[in-house]
Chain A
Amino acid sequence: MRGILRSLALGAAACVLSAQTSPLLDILTAELDRNFKVLKEKGDPAPYFLAYAVSDTETRLVSATLGFLEGKSANRSRLLDVTVRVGTPQLDNYHRLPGDRPRFSAAVPIPLEDLPAPVRQIAWLETDRTYREAVQRLIRIRTSTQVKPAEEDPSPDFSIEPPEKYVERWEPLQFPAALWEDRVRKWSAALGRRREILVSSVTVFAQRETKYYTTSEGTRLQHGRALARIVISARGRAPDGMELSVGETFEAETPDRLPPDKAVMEAIERVARNLAALERAPEAEPFAGPAILSGRAAGVFFHEIFGHRIEGHRQKDESEGQTFAKSLGTKVLPEFLSVIFDPTRRSLNGVDLNGYYLYDDEGVKARPVVVVENGILKTFLMSRSPVRGVERSNGHGRRQPGFEVVSRQSNLIVESSRRVPEKKLREMLLEEVRRQNKPYGLYFEEVTGGFTQTARRGLQAFAVIPILVYRVYPDGRPDELVRGADIVGTPLASFSKILATGDSLEIFNGFCGAESGSVPVAAVAPAILVSEIEIQKRETSQERPPLLPRPDLGSGLFR
């Protein structure tokens, strides 16, 4: 049933505010109007924008280890975030100052029932608190901008966008707990049986979020989405003490759309086999040379190394790298590559995409955004915070409740016009190995992303951490798994060294953490061949594996 609806998703997004009223949206709007009116009249300075956002989230989780439940939870919360803007769109309390990131949101709980009295009291108090802080920061900004020399980017602080109205009825989360408990018990027993594995778990997580958003500009939104996830995780330790970690995940919108038992059991087998292989694998050696990144690995690369750098707010913040701030209209990738961010894409090849949404967290309608077309940088991912050269939002202002919106990624899709079959791509790798006179090339099958915080108080480095890396030999020897490879530096340069891509798209679904919290995203890419990437040995703990044998060894295993 949902499958049919899926193809109509774009059409459905065009609905207008329907007759079905939402009590909560009405309660919030009434209190918003009352507060905005009085603050407009009596506030000094008066606000020019007020927004209430409520995230109503229901989550269920079951997790098991060694065949037994280790975690189980069911939660529902409604969290309110109030946004007040004082000053003018040109200069307001959200103005960026180096090393000083605005933070007004507090994600305060409101009742789960649609009751006017408590909701309005909490919204009123939170508006008062946020307004006071907004005024204080505006005064500080005005002083600071008068003191400091002119900023490089004179863009305003807030863009004008059309109000949106849309109300979507949302089904409650369906999660047959007993069924999933049985499954995670069975799956975790299969995983834990492997003696190489020290700590392991299988977790199933399901969430339904409904977002309510109402603003003094007249935007009224009620919309939501669901997310479900299976996470298989296994950790072990090589004889020399290196910590090893392997995992696989499956994502879908709802639990019933998660893959069948057989697919999960196969993944568990792979995880167990890969961890065992890693324990026996030789350590990586420092190396610079050609490599293939699998489609999933390439997706993570694009997300971490490229995607975060074309988020709009980073072009404006003088404490950021601003890699591409002045690159609009110039070539930033090989001409055979295009990069599209499409939050309206709900699924691909039968797999639901994590970065799907109808409206962003500033109530701006989602739309596909071509960021790079044939290698040329066309625009940035934009929230309602304009940057030089891009004045309007393109529906990528996102956040987790309790954080302030910044521009974030959605579904990243890499398109290539230089596609070759995977087999041919491998041949091209070996040719490159011979041409560069290297002993081998590398194949990155699985990588994971992450960000690191530096002393400069910003999110500086979005890192890529290899999990499964193989040496590919030109002499016909089988590929050799190595462990503990770390990518050297920031491999942005590798993007200019992309020679060709594979011809099939792979999907990486995940959650991206950055300054506006954790948001669901996807990255879709073909495998890529790069002429050079540099790796080094990972620094790792030298702690011994456990000194005593596993308690169950020789005792007939679990259950």
Chain B
Amino acid sequence: MRMPGHVAAVALLALASGQGQTQEPDVILRALQDEVTRTLQLQLPGLERPYYAEFALHDGESFAVSATLGGTVARRNNRFRLPSVQVRVGGYEFDNTNYVFSDFAFGARDAGRPPLEDSYLALRHFFWLAGDAAYKAAVQAIARKRAALKNVTVTENLPDFYRAEPFQIRNETPRMHVDEEQWAAVVRRVSSEFADFRHLIRSGADFEIVQSDYYFVNTEGTTCRVPERLVHLRLHAMALAGDGMSVRDAVTFLAREPDGMPAESELREAARKLALRVTELSQAPVGEPYTGPVLFEGEAAGQMFAEILGRNLAARRRPVGEPGRPLPFQSGEFEGRVGSRVLPDWMDVVDDPTQAEWRGRPLLGHYLADLEGVPPSPVRLVERGILRSFLLTRQPVAGFSASNGRARLPGGFGHKTAWFGNLFVQAAEASPLEELKKKFVSLFRARNLPYGIIVRKMDYPSSASVDEVRRLLARTAQAGDGGRPVSLPLLVYRLYPDGREELVRGLRFRGFSARALRDIVAASVETFVFEYLENGAPFALSGASGFVAESTVIAPSVVFEELQLERAQEQVPTPPVVPPPSLTLRR
């Protein structure tokens, strides 16, 4: 739902505050506004003043509890205020950003921490020092950027910052009471469901509720206060196969509020199903290398689109580098491909964060303003298979002229990273899933394959350990097939022509990139809503970053004409010398 109050003139007047104007009633916004206005007066002798400044504050609280086999392994309460400050010198055409050292602090500066309590002066004190430090860093950055540009030539002459209409929104959603003891007990009880499954060597339930508000002001007159609410519950389990290979799976539940969570009985049921599935996986045969048609069904299709398509939809801009030094920058696979085909000509992709719900179901990817205080608008990204647009922040990129309100994650070089909200993947030519499967069978039979591969779940966001992610990234780098890291398929089935299915383990994709999306040959009428937390980390690894963008993908099941799968692990560790302890031990 879009909020009204798009009133630029009022905003500017409010900024000029001081005399005569009604005082901003929200003490945080008032402190941010008064101090950000003063930031424009900053000036080092002989150097330029800021032309733009923004102050932001995530103000919130969280409660997290993790349990394994009925025992609490972690319990955490966190009250936080996370500030962010940006000061720009120069002008919209050329400023201190889009340069390799734009985020560099240039010397030790420490503004301390903002107060957790609502003190107008203590808040201003913090932002006074933070703004001062940001200004001094900005003038250094722009000087170095100018010096660097004496020695490097930039092929595209783009401005450094898009202008944006001032936007005002104040959504004061009260915070809910969280019954911490009750949730801690539920999480313990759900985690104890795993105790009946002897094959599991690790298991657990993690619960977290975050209630925060995002405050944002800038010197252009934008003032935002928007709520951020999230409840997150994850069940995970791991087992060892007889050959020592570890297999795992996880289930995640997401909602805006505790009432959106399934009942305890459903959670327990989900835990038991997960345990059975992981047990089944541990007993499944190791998959054989495969080249041929692949069906992504349900959730797996949403996960695949989020990862393979989603990460390429954000526009990326190469920063100005230092002569002779490598740039810490990787371009997207869709760079320079606006107007080219990226999907079959019967597919469209639209991102619409303005939709709060879809077919009666609330959508997690809905938001009112992005991290730069820009309200999102619906964007047709792909039309009839042709790439038409990117997800944009206020970082200018070639071929576009304004942000479309997608600054959702922290970024680099003085800018934010774009991510989608509610990504609708639409197929004009679609058949019911049952027919799609028949089509799929005829596809692999035409190639004389004994079976086709169905993927029902990808490890995205990943529940892997950091070590495992590191190994995966290293292997992709070594593979030399030009592929970018793609998360592991967790649930892979062989579908035989007679309709029989067989679960296999230990496979991964080889050379799977956005290029393959053009080889989608069929889609289902049925769509699946996949919701997750994107954090910008490889495989959106759970817990890898404190910053998340709630994201939704609404997509049909799809068939790829040809993908390649290979064994995921060349070697597996030997099974433990000591057998596992009995889990039926009770006090």
User: Which residues on A are within 8 Å of B, measured CB to CB?
Assistant: 23, 31, 34-35, 38-39, 42-43, 64-77, 109-122, 124-125, 127-128, 131-132, 192, 198-201, 235, 243, 541, 543-544, 546-548, 550-552, 555, 557-559
New contact pairs (15) apart from A34-B581, A112-B73, A547-B44, CB-CB < 8 Å: A38-B577, A42-B577, A73-B77, A109-B66, A112-B75, A118-B71, A121-B68, A122-B68, A124-B576, A124-B581, A131-B577, A132-B573, A199-B110, A199-B112, A555-B121
Measured between beta carbons, the chain A residues less than 8 angstroms from B132 are 546-548
Verify B113–A65 contact, CB threshold 8 A.
Answer: yes
Q: How far does the Cβ of B350 sit from chain A's closest Cβ, in whole Å? A: 43
Measured between beta carbons, the chain A residues less than 8 angstroms from B70 are 111, 113, 115, 117-118
Verify B78–A35 contact, CB threshold 8 A.
Answer: no
Q: How far does the Cβ of A196 sit from chain B's closest Cβ, in whole Å? A: 14
Measured between beta carbons, the chain B residues less than 8 angstroms from A201 are 112-113
B72, B117, B577 interface centre (most CB from chain A within 10 Å): B577
Which of B77, B107, B115 is within 8 Å of A541, CB to CB?
B107
Q: In the complex, A124 Cα to B585 Cα: how many Å?
A: 14
Segment from B34-42, B291-299, B356-364, B521-529 that makes contact with A:
B34-42
B150 within 8 A of A: no
Measured between beta carbons, the chain B residues less than 8 angstroms from A72 are 79, 116
Closest to B111 in A: A199
Which of B79, B109, B121, B202 is within 8 Å of A551, CB to CB?
B121
What would 10 A/B residue contacts be, using CB atoms closer than 8 Å?
Answer: A67-B122, A68-B119, A74-B77, A112-B73, A115-B587, A118-B70, A124-B578, A124-B581, A551-B124, A552-B121
Q: How far does the Cβ of B436 sit from chain A's closest Cβ, in whole Å? A: 42
Verify A117–B586 contact, CB threshold 8 A.
Answer: yes
Given A113-B72, A546-B128, A73-B579 contact (CB < 8 Å): no
User: Which residues on B are within 8 Å of A, measured CB to CB?
Assistant: 34-35, 38, 41-44, 66-79, 107-117, 119, 121-122, 124-125, 128-129, 132, 135-136, 195, 201-202, 573, 576-581, 583-587
Measured between beta carbons, the chain B residues less than 8 angstroms from A199 are 110-112, 129
Which of A42, A198, A558 is within 8 Å of B129, CB to CB?
A198
Verify A548–B128 contact, CB threshold 8 A.
Answer: yes
Given A38-B578, A124-B581, A127-B578, A71-B72 contact (CB < 8 Å): no
Verify B576–A551 contact, CB threshold 8 A.
Answer: no
Verify A43–B577 contact, CB threshold 8 A.
Answer: yes
Q: In the complex, A23 Cα to B576 Cα: how many Å?
A: 27
Q: In the complex, A71 Cα to B82 Cα: how many Å?
A: 12
Given A76-B75, A111-B72, A121-B583, A69-B117 contact (CB < 8 Å): yes
Q: How far does the Cβ of B180 sit from chain A's closest Cβ, in whole Å? A: 12
Q: How far does the Cβ of B423 sit from chain A's closest Cβ, in whole Å? A: 36
Verify B125–A66 contact, CB threshold 8 A.
Answer: yes
Q: How far does the Cβ of B48 sit from chain A's closest Cβ, in whole Å? A: 13
Q: In the complex, A65 Cα to B202 Cα: how many Å?
A: 43
Q: How far does the Cβ of A544 sit from chain B's closest Cβ, in whole Å? A: 7
Verify A116–B587 contact, CB threshold 8 A.
Answer: yes
Q: In the complex, A196 Cα to B584 Cα: how many Å?
A: 64
Q: How far does the Cβ of B199 sit from chain A's closest Cβ, in whole Å? A: 12
Verify A543–B107 contact, CB threshold 8 A.
Answer: yes
Closest to B575 in A: A128
Q: In the complex, A198 Cα to B112 Cα: how many Å?
A: 9
Q: How far does the Cβ of A375 sit from chain B's closest Cβ, in whole Å? A: 41
Verify A65–B115 contact, CB threshold 8 A.
Answer: yes
Verify A558–B119 contact, CB threshold 8 A.
Answer: yes
Given A43-B577, A65-B113, A66-B119, A117-B583 contact (CB < 8 Å): yes
Q: Top 3 A-B pairs ranked by shortest CB distance? A: A111-B71, A68-B115, A118-B69
Verify A551–B578 contact, CB threshold 8 A.
Answer: no
B35, B43, B75 interface centre (most CB from chain A within 10 Å): B75
Q: How far does the Cβ of B557 sit from chain A's closest Cβ, in whole Å? A: 37
Q: How far does the Cβ of B246 sit from chain A's closest Cβ, in whole Å? A: 11
Verify A547–B77 contact, CB threshold 8 A.
Answer: no
Q: How far does the Cβ of B177 sit from chain A's closest Cβ, in whole Å? A: 18
Q: How far does the Cβ of A414 sit from chain B's closest Cβ, in whole Å? A: 34
Measured between beta carbons, the chain B residues less than 8 angstroms from A200 are 112
Closest to A235 in B: B110
Q: In the complex, A46 Cα to B504 Cα: how many Å?
A: 36
Verify A75–B72 contact, CB threshold 8 A.
Answer: no
Measured between beta carbons, the chain A residues less than 8 angstroms from B107 are 541, 543
